[in-house]
Chains A and B, each alone.
Chain A
Amino acid sequence: MQHYTLSCCGGVKASLPPPLSFRWSKIKREGGRRLPRCARIAAQLELKPPPYSLSSLEPHMSRETLEYHWGRHHRAHVASLNNLIAGTDLDGMGLDEIVVVSYNKGNPLPPFVHAAQVWNHDFFWQSIKPGGGGRPSGRLMELIEKDFGSFDRMLEEFKRAALTQFGSGWAWLVYKANRLDVGNAVNPRPSEKDNKLVMLKSPNAVNPIVWDYSPLLAIDVWEHAYYLDYENRRADYVSIFLEKLVSWEVVSDRLDVAIERAAERAREAETRKQEDDTAVTHSEAVEMYLDSDTDDSEAE
């Protein structure tokens, strides 16, 4: 199974002024929604705590790691994001929307790295739990077997993605609709079987929602995620993550949501197609009417 690598301009710098930041400032001013100081709505995003105590993942992920990873790295991204979006068009948007808008189709704006890392880390903490591991069941297991051959082969793919993400980044199990990311791409014979699970890896802060995929599981392979507990041994970290930490229940719930979302999209697309067909029929009738009008005038 091929890996898909999401590439973005690796190493986006936040502090130097490339042309992008100039455009970013312009958006801030032209947005027209910069409120006067006294009336500014500070829609502050919050640092969400993991759904377990910081020491409950020991010995697989130490309390010290959680204290730094969640308490410093994740917290700093929340603070930076709030700072950057305050008083701009992004202020007040949901986090998903901020991520997609600031990704700017591959030319990320300064808030992107922070927005995406906040999103990624929220997603990561929810993907694991004390006493995790084991095997999935039900629809998730069926899809895994269909798209990877077997559970063990899926695990191998996941490990390979995590270990071959050179540098900082993430590895993802993702549910995607089998369509191109262009406006007029039409699947002539759509079926639910087109949707499938794939393995992805992404650099730095990039995540699959910018490609309109539905992430199901993520592992952070930035060194800060594992260095205190595993030093350079990323392979050990990934194995323990899969054997002892991953919450297949959460992954399964996410799959259900993703399947429902894909089904709704398919229904919307079908409705839109029917509306387009109807519109074409109406305009043909109008044209015929105009033509006969012209004929009459010529006859006279």
Chain B
Amino acid sequence: MALRALFTKGAPTLAFGLGPFASAGGSGTRWQGLCHARGLKVAALPDLEYDYGALEPAISGEIMRLHHQKHHKAYVSNYNDALEKLDAAMAKGDVPAVVRLQSAIKFNGGGHINHTIFWKNLKPVNEGGGEPPHATLGWAIDTDFGSLEALVQKMNAEGAALQGSGWVWLALDKERKKLLVETTANQDPLVTKGARLVPLLGIGVWEHAYYLQYKNVKPDYLKNIWNVMNWKYASEVYDSEIA
């Protein structure tokens, strides 16, 4: 697919992760040698498993394209950038620089984590998007929330009430084996709310996720996104954690 080829072209730089240092070969400085030895693993923009327009009318193709190609890609680039700078700062023992870089890493790394999950949470209708969960996850939802409708209502209410930018999550507390609804601000990943929490489904409520199509009517976006929710993915994660 033409669009995917675009990413593959861009990917090698990211996959090898050295950016401008990639051509160094053997005649590098000590810093480049360290980079090789440490094998700095950087992030790469994942492909979507469906076309940009395939989630319509719930989410427009224009939004999906911008969201993936611009927003997520920027998180990936900025995270890699910050990571390289962090590596250099750690090698030099530059503590102030290490501390200063933390917010960029949290923000962009979090953005990368959250959006990678998000693309897997969505599925075109004709590929099973919107089909409610069954078996283990279905029963757990009934136990912990009363019904699927109650869960959806709760997540939509929390998403609507969230001031500013953030995410609303269906989370599994893997130690207590209970489901819960949680929110995080900005690009904070779910683990910032508890190391025991595993994200099953996340809904981004940053304005860039819906504005071009829904403008300020966030509740409509929240209502419609359930039509393309990939419960199969959520079930797989749930089953693997519970086992």
- What is the interface of chain A, defined by CB distance below 8 A to chain B? 10-16, 68, 72-73, 76, 113, 166-169, 203-205, 222-224, 227-228, 231-232
Contacts and interface: CB of A to CB of B under 8 A. Distances in A.
16 contacts: A13-B162, A16-B158, A16-B161, A166-B186, A166-B187, A167-B165, A167-B206, A168-B165, A203-B164, A204-B164, A205-B163, A223-B165, A224-B211, A224-B216, A227-B208, A232-B66
Given A13-B183, A167-B187, A232-B70, 12 more contacts: A11-B162, A11-B165, A13-B158, A13-B161, A72-B215, A73-B216, A166-B107, A168-B164, A204-B164, A223-B207, A224-B207, A227-B211
Contacts of B185: 10-11, 167
Contacts of A76: 216
B191 interface: no
A101 to B, nearest CB: 19
Contact of A222 (B70, B157, B187, B207): B207
B71 A232 contact: yes
B154 to A, nearest CB: 10
B71 A12 contact: no
Interface string B186-230: 110000000000000000001110011001100000000000000
B70 A231 contact: yes
Nearest to A108: B163
Nearest to B205: A11
Contact of B163 (A14, A227, A232): A14
B52 to A, nearest CB: 14
Nearest to A231: B66
A283 to B, nearest CB: 50
Nearest to B160: A15
B107 A11 contact: no
Contacts of A205: 163-164
Contacts of B128: none
Contact of A204 (B66, B107, B163, B215): B163
Contact of B166 (A11, A113, A224, A231): A11
Contacts of A12: 163
Nearest to B161: A15
A232 B183 CA distance: 23
A68 B70 contact: no
A286 B16 CA distance: 83
Contacts of A166: 103, 107, 186-187
Contacts of A68: 215-216
Nearest to B110: A166
Q: Which one of A166, A169, A224, A231 has the highest number of Cβ atoms from chain B below 10 Å of its Cβ?
A: A166
Contacts of B183: 11, 13
B74 interface: yes
Contacts of A15: 157, 160-161
Nearest to A5: B103
Nearest to B70: A232
Given A10-B185, A11-B185, A222-B207, A227 B161 contact: no
B8 to A, nearest CB: 22
B215 to A, nearest CB: 5
Nearest to A75: B216
